[in-house]
Amino acid sequence: MAKSARLDRNLVWEIGVVTKMKNSESICGDQCVYDKDRNGATIILSDGLGSGVKANILSTLTSTMLSTMLHGSIPLEEAVSTVAATLPICSERHLAYATFTIVTAEGRHVRLVQYDNPPAVFLKDGKAQKYSYSVHFVQDKELHESTFSFSPGDCLILFSDGVAEAGRGVTTYDGWPRAEMEDFLARNWTPDVSAQRIAARMLSTVQALDLDELHDDTTIAVLRLRERKPVNLMIGPPENQDDDLGTMRLFFAKEGLHAVCGGTTAKAVAKYLNTRVHLLPDTGSDEVPPMSMIAGVDLVTEGAVTLSVAVELLKNYQIDGMIALDMERRKDGAAKLAEMLMEDATEINLFFGNAANTAQEDTEFSFERKLKLVNELQDILKGAGKKVKLSIV
């Protein structure tokens, strides 16, 4: 989809999505497709009637058709009309065979089109806002259209029936009451909370209301406008010790957060900052060595072991967004590093020191293994939509 409006360079769009299928099913009847670029974002959420394979096919066709047309620069009105006119109505239940919600963001402006999905929630300054909509009919199908102007921190939360119907007949009389849902979202909002964490917390509550037996396919998508935040990560000291000073100056001249990974690297950084490395007790685990602290550095972790565990966490995060809650609970360096890179950072500057660690030459954490981990890390972060620059020093 062509983006005409320009977004301030200090702002970026962030999307968080979680989905979980009905307990008795092996395939999900919801589909959510999304993407973003420098100036905008698109989310399409479709819910197929019922559950299982038939619902999956219907929602996949709906979301794919809409996505293909929008990316082919077909106007939103024409794309929506085409799909709405194509979708049949179930003769028994008098419901559409697939519902859809479309969100398009251009610059700070967001357009929302909803067809038979539960109404989205708009959070402005952390409070749920009532919003107006215009009504359009396409072959007897009622579509609701709304527009929003976003400020940093504002969120639009979309979801399928599994959320609105959560707990029905089990812990709630008629599903999750709208007022309680909005109150939950407001209480879980902070200016810095990630879109992924909002989505994961909401799905966790749906599971609780359903007593961990989801009664419907459930998908939540969150669109959030946030401020740009660079993260600078140094892994290993420079190959040539004569380059230490220049590398440190460049590293700390970069705006944003600064993280250091590795004991030798931490000592070099502390020396440059004319301070000491202090071990932080109770920050390790059976799997991950404890963290340290250096005045003037935001995060200091052990090296190869922590990096390896963090990479695995990030891989799992890409598969299952609910890992965001696990990372939030954990206090070890791997979780904190993964959290910083995936949830705090909008762009990452990686400084990889080319110096070989002779103590690890013949171990699983040799220089080659660490280089492979760094390349893996770079690929994962780019796949998550982060801007990544790798400098080998």
pLDDT digits (tens, 9 = 90+) for 22-51: 998 889 999 999 999 888 999 999 999 878
Give 55's Cβ-side CA count (13 Å radius).
23
Tell how strand 127-129 and strand 134-138 pair up. Answer: unpaired
Give the strands of the sheet with 40-48, arranged side by side.
30-36, 40-48, 98-106, 109-115, 141-149, 134-138
Please report the pLDDT score of residue 98 as a whole number.
87
* 256 burial via Cβ count (<10 Å: 0-12, 13-18, 19+): middle
pLDDT tens by residue, 240-270: 776 678 899 999 999 999 999 999 999 999 9
pLDDT per residue of the chain (393 residues) written in tens, 0 to 9: 444 578 999 999 999 999 999 998 889 999 999 999 888 999 999 999 878 888 898 899 999 999 999 988 898 888 888 887 877 766 666 665 889 999 999 999 999 999 999 999 999 999 999 999 999 888 778 899 999 999 999 999 999 999 999 999 999 999 999 999 999 999 999 999 999 999 999 999 999 999 999 999 999 999 999 999 999 999 988 877 766 788 999 999 999 999 999 999 999 999 999 999 999 999 999 999 999 999 999 999 999 999 999 999 999 999 999 999 999 999 999 999 999 999 999 999 999 987 755 554 444 456 788 888 999 999 999 999 999 999 988
What pLDDT does 95 receive? Answer: 62
- pTM of the predicted structure, to 2 decimals: 0.91
What residues form DSSP beta bridges with 33? Answer: 44
Classify residue 40 by its DSSP letter: E
What domains lie within the chain, and their CATH numbers? 11-227 (3.60.40.10), 230-392 (no CATH)
Q: What is the per-residue pLDDT for 203?
A: 98
Model pLDDT, residue 96: 59
pLDDT recorded at residue 90: 65
**DSSP notation for 92-126:** TT--BSEEEEEEEEETTEEEEEEESSPPPEEEETT
Please give the DSSP secondary-structure letter assigned to residue 174. S
Question: Can you give the pLDDT at residue 365?
Answer: 54
Tokens of 319: 């598969």
Task: Say how far apart CA 388 and CA 45 lie, in whole Å.
Answer: 29
The conformational region for residue 79 under phi > 0 = left, psi -120 to 50 = alpha, else beta, is alpha
The one-character DSSP state at 242 is G
